[in-house]
Amino acid sequence: MNEIIESVKNLSIGFNSQKGKQISILRNVSTNIKKGETVGIVGESGSGKSTLALAMMGYIKQGLFPLKGECIFKSEDLLKMSSRQLEKIRGRKIAMIPQNAGQALTPNLKIGYQIDEALKLHTNLNKTERDKKISELLNKVRLPSPETMAFRYPHELSGGQQQRVAVAMALAGKPDLLLLDEPTTGLDVTTQAHVLELLRFIAKDTGTSMIYVSHDLGAIAQVSDRIVVMYAGEIVLEGPARKILKEPIHPYTYGLLKSIPKLSLAGLPASMPGSQPQPGSINEGCSFYDRCNLATDNCKKNSPDLEHIKELDTNVRCFNYKELINQNNNLQTSITKKSNNSEANEVLKLKDVSISYAKQKFFDQLLNKISDQNPTVKDINIDIKKGETIALVGESGSGKSTILKSIAGLLKTKDGQIKFENDRILSSDLKMRNPNDLRAIQLIFQNPDESLNPNHTVEQILSQPLKLYFNLSGEELKKNIIGLLKKVRLGEFYMSRYPRQLSGGEKQRVAVARAFAAKPDIILCDEVTSALDVSVQAAVLNLLQQLKEDLGTTYVFVSHDLAVVRAISDRVAVLYQGRLCEIGPSQNVYKFPSHPYTEVLLGAVLEPDPDIKPKLVAEDIVEEKPPEKGCSFQGRCPRKIGDICNSEVPPWQIGENGNAIRCHINIKELASLQQ
C-alpha cells in the first residue's frame, strides 16, 4: 500500500517574460503519490495546480518549460522522455480526465470511436472484444442505453454525460494513475455529486491512484485521502484530508475554509483581504504575506520552508503555524447580517408571470401574442419587499436567468404582469419603459469579462450611467466616480485601468459599482459570484451586503449554489423547470419539511467536510423541457406518490413557519418522511 507511483521532486516550471526575464509559475514543488491513494490538489485559479497536474503526465503547455526538477514515474523521469516514450505511458499508465469534457471530446468523432481509439492503443483486444468492452465501460460509468450511446456525437450528450464518457475513455487503458482536472466544475450540483460518487466507486473498485485537482474544497473533501494546498505556485500545506479540513494550520488554508459559505451556517462567510500575487511579482519573503493576519516582520524578509511536522503527519510552509493549532472551533463561525425590516413595502411584484422562448408564428406576430401551451417559465407569483434579498435557486435550465431578463425588460413576458412601486405595471417591452424605471432596475452579470467593455477604462465604464441618468460632467462626474470606487473598496488609481488589468474580483467590483452608479432601487444579480474564487466570492458577498445595509437596495439574487444563497438571502424561491416549488424565509427553506426538489438539492451540496457525504436521492437526468401537465418535478421526484403527480398541478401548502411548498404530499406527512 505504501508503494510510491509517482514522485515529483523540486519541480519548477516557468516562462520567459517579454522582457526576457524567467518567471516561474511553479516553484520547488515536491510530492509523492502512493498506490491506491487519492490526492486532492486545491488552490485558487492561477495557483499552478493544473500546470502541476499536467507535468505529472509529462505534458508542459505551449509557452512553458521546466526550469528544474523531475517527475519520476516508475523510476523514469517523464520530463526527459521522448514523445514516442510518452505515447506509451499516456492513456495506458497515466490517464487524464479533463476539466471540460464538452470541449475535450473531439466534435467530429463519435463517442464510441473515441473510446475505441484508446482501447486500440492500449489493449490487444480484437474488434468484437473491443465493442463489448466499449459497452462495458459505458455501463460502468452508468450511462443510459450504452449500446446506442456509442453512436452519438459529443454534442448530443448533456454535460454530466460527457464527463462520464471522459471517465470511460480514461479507464479504457486500465491506468495506474488517473489525473482529474476540475472534473466536476461547471456541472449542476446534483450531477456533480453523482460524478464524484462514481469516481469514488471507481477508485475503490479498480484500486487506481487518483490526483484530483480542484478549486472547490467541497469536492476535494469528498474524494481525497490526502490534500495538497497550493498558493502562488508553491505547496503551502500538505497532509491527511481530515487534518487539513478540520484543523488547517496554514493561515491561507484557514482563511480559505472560513470563506466558504456552509449550509449549516446562516450569515456571511469571513473574507480574506487582497488576492493572490501574479507570477513574477513575488520577490522575497512569504508569498502570502500581504493577506496574512499572522504575518510578522520575519515573514516579510524570509520565505518559510515546507516543514514536516511529525505528530500531525503534515507539511506546512509558515513560520507561525503553531498559533493555528487548536483554533479549529473558530472555523464554524460567520458574520451575522442585519435582517431587513419585514414591515417594509413591496417594490416589485411578479403576478402570474409566464415566459416563452417559442418562436412566434406568423399570425401571432400580427396579433402580437405568444401561443405556447408549455412555456419555459410559468405561473410565477412573487412579491418582493423593499430592502429584501430574495434568491432564486435551481439547476441550470430552471429559468432563473429567464425571469431576471424579463424583470429587466430584456425578454417579453407571455402572460402576467410585473409591477413596480405602488402596483404600477412595467411594460414588458424595454423600449416602452420610462427612463426612470430603467434607472431603477439594474443588472449584474455572472461574467464581468463579458459585461465590461475591454476597450473602456474603469472611468469610462462608470461614467456612462452617471452621464446617462444624471447628466453629470466635469468635476462632479469625477467626484462621483471616485465615490463609487470607494464604495466598492477600490482606490482612485483604478480609474485609468482597463478591465484586462484587473483581477476577477476587481472586475466584479467594477461591475457592482456600475450597477450602483444608477442609484437603483432593485439590483438583479445573475450568478455574480459563480466565476470567482471562494475567497473573492466571500469578499463580493460581504460587499453586496454592506452596500445594501447602507443604501437600502433590494436584490434579486440568482444562484445555483445553495450555500451562497443561504449566506446572502432573506428569502428563497426554489425553481424547477421554470415552475416555483417552494418559497419562504431562508432559515425555513433550509429546514424540513421541504419540497422534494429542495430536498434533492440540499442533499447534493458538497460541504468541505469529509464527514458530511452528499445524499443522492434522485437521478441526475437532464429534462429537455417541462412536463405538459401535473407537477414540474414528476420526472425525477424520489417521493412521487402516483398518477396525481402526473395529471394535476400540486396545490400550495403553507408550513408552520411561513414557507410555502407546492406538492401533493401533505406538508405534515412530508415533515415526518424527511425526519
Partner 1 sequence: MLLLILKRIGLGLITLFIVSLITFVGVEVLPGDACTTYLEREAYGAALDACIKRLGLDVPAYERYLDWASNVIRGDFGYSLSGEMPINEVLGPRVKNSLVLASVSILIGIPLAIVLGIITALWRDKLPDIMISTITIFSMTIPEFISATLLILIVAIWLGWLPGIVIIPSDATFYELLSNIILPVVAISMIMTAHMARMVRSSVIQVMASDYVQMAILKGVPYWKMVFRHVLPNALLPAINVVALTIAWLLGGVVVTEVVFNYPGLGRLVIESISNRDLPVVQALAIILASIYVGINLIADLMTLMLNPRLKSLQIRK
Minimum distance from residue 565 beta carbon to ligand ADP (Å): 13
Q: Which is nearer to ligand SF4, 364 or 619 (CB)?
A: 619
Q: What is the rounded CA–CA span in Å between residue 172 and residue 132?
A: 12
Least distance CB 102 / partner 1 (angstroms)? 9
Site for ligand SF4 in 573-632 (CB under 6 A): 596, 631
Query: Rule CB under 6 A: is residue 375 a binding residue for ligand ADP?
Result: no
Say how many CA atoms lie within 13 Å of 94 toward its Cβ.
24
Residue 254 binds ligand SF4, judged by CB under 6 A: no
Instruction: Verify binding: residue 140, ligand SF4, rule CB under 6 A.
Output: no
Retrieve residue 203's grid coordinates.
477508485
Residue nearest to ligand ADP according to CB distances in the complex: 401
**Gap between the terminal Cα atoms of the chain:** 41
Q: How many residues of this chain interact with partner 1, rule: CB under 8 A? A: 34
| Residue with Cβ nearer ligand ADP (118 or 531) | 531
Pick from ligand SF4, ligand ADP, partner 1, none: which does 659 bind, CB < 5 to 8 A by kind? Answer: none
Sketch the per residue contact string, 6 through 45, with ligand ADP: x for CB under 6 A, - otherwise. ----------------------------------------
8 binds, among ligand SF4, Mg ion, partner 1, none (CB under 5 to 8 A by kind): none
Rounded CA separation 69/90 (Å): 20
Q: Least distance from C-beta 228 to partner 1, angstroms?
A: 21
Does residue 123 bind ligand ADP (CB under 6 A)? no
Residues paired with residue 90 on neighbouring β-strands, in sequence order: 94
Q: Is the peptide bond before 593 cis (omega within 30 degrees of 0)?
A: yes
Helix extents (H) in 376-470 = 400-408, 435-440, 448-451, 458-470
Binds 397: which of partner 1, Mg ion, ligand ADP, none (CB < 5-8 Å by kind):
ligand ADP
Q: Exactly one of 77, 129, 147, 156 binds partner 1 (CB under 8 A); which one? A: 156
Interface region with partner 1, contact rule CB under 8 A, candidates 52-60, 218-226, 309-317, 367-375: 52-60
CB distance 519 to 442 below 8 Å: no
> Smallest Cα–Cα separation from 279: which of 59, 498, 48, 50?
48
Among the listed ranges 150-158, 196-204, 316-324, 544-552, the one in contact with partner 1 (CB under 8 A) is: 150-158
Shortest Å, Cβ 107 to partner 1? 6
In the complex with partner 1, the residue whose CB is nearer, 175 or 578, is 175
Q: Report the C-alpha gap between 448 and 504 in whole angstroms.
A: 8
Q: Let me know how long the chain is.
A: 675
Angle between helices 474-487 and 504-517 (to 10 degrees): 130
What residues make contact with Mg ion under the rule CB under 5 A?
401
| Coil, strand or helix at 588 | helix
Q: Does 508 bind ligand ADP (CB under 6 A)?
A: no
CB of 56 to partner 1, least distance (A): 11
Is 554 exposed, middle or buried, given 0-12, 13-18 or 19+ CB atoms closer than 10 A?
buried
Q: Are the beta carbons of 163 and 103 closer than 8 angstroms?
A: no
Query: Please, what is the minimum distance in Å from the beta carbon of residue 376 to ligand ADP?
Result: 4
User: Pick from partner 1, ligand SF4, Mg ion, none: which does 482 bind, CB < 5 to 8 A by kind?
Assistant: none
* Of residues 75, 78, 74, the one with CA closest to residue 13: 78
Instruction: Give the three cell numbers for residue 114.
Output: 473515441
Instruction: Give the contacts of 474 (CB within 8 A, at least 6 positions apart).
Output: none
C-alpha cell of 256? 480559505
Considering the complex, state which of residue 289 and residue 470 has its C-beta at the smaller distance from ligand SF4: 289
Out of Mg ion, partner 1, ligand ADP, none, what residue 109 binds, judged by CB under 5 to 8 A for its kind, is partner 1
CA torsion through residues 125, 131, 134, 139, sign? negative
Stretch that binds ligand SF4, among 136-144, 167-175, 318-326, 511-519 (CB under 6 A): 318-326
From 96-104, 486-494, 500-508, 661-669, span contacting ligand SF4 (CB under 6 A) = 661-669
**Which segment (51-59, 228-236, 334-342, 537-545) binds partner 1 by CB under 8 A?**
51-59
Residue 212, Cα to own-chain centre: how many angstroms? Answer: 16
Residues whose CB is less than 8 angstroms from the CB of residue 299 and which lie 6 or more positions away in sequence, other chains included: 285, 286, 289, 292, 319, 320
Tell me which of 166, 179, 605, 665 binds ligand SF4, using CB under 6 A. 665
Backbone angles phi, psi at 353, to 5 degrees: -75, 130
Kindly give, in sequence order, each residue whose CB lies less than 8 Å from that of residue 403, ignoring residues fewer than 6 positions away.
350, 353, 355, 377, 380, 392, 558, 575
Cβ distance 236 to 230 under 8 Å?
A: yes
Which positions touch ligand ADP (CB under 6 A)?
A: 357, 376, 394, 396-402
Which positions touch partner 1 (CB under 8 A)?
A: 54, 57, 59, 62, 83, 86-92, 95-96, 98-100, 103-109, 117-118, 121-122, 153, 155-156, 166, 169, 173
Which positions touch ligand SF4 (CB under 6 A)?
A: 251, 286, 288-289, 292, 294-295, 299, 304, 318-320, 596, 631, 633-634, 637, 639-641, 645, 650, 663-665
